Amino acid sequence: MTANTTNAKSIIRWLARGVALALIVAGALGFYLAPAFPIPALAGLVGLIVGGALWLLPIND
């Protein structure tokens, strides 16, 4: 592997982790707003599931 490929994989890994973390935070916010708005609660559940799956997704070097 070249250094450029390794750096690209590292960048992709951190971008995936950033998206996952954003989905988890958005999901938590959706659950916080759940009593007032039912749609954010559903979006929050989806965000937590997808974000958690992305966070646990193995990215091999």
pLDDT single digits (tens) 2-19: 556 667 777 777 787 788
- Domain span at 51: 9-56
61 in a structural domain: no
Please tell me the total number of residues recorded for the chain in this structure: 61
13 in a structural domain: yes
2 in a structural domain: no
- In this structure, what token pair is assigned to residue 33? 């707003």
15 in a structural domain: yes
CA distances (Å), origin 19, targets 1, 26, 39: 26, 10, 21
The pLDDT score that the predictor gives to residue 13 is: 77
The pLDDT score that the predictor gives to residue 26 is: 76
The pLDDT score that the predictor gives to residue 37 is: 67
29 in a structural domain: yes
Contacts of 43 (CB under 8 A, 6+ apart): 26, 27, 30
Total of domains in the chain: 1
In the chain, which stretches have pLDDT less than 50? none
40 in a structural domain: yes
33 in a structural domain: yes
CA distance 42 to 46: 6
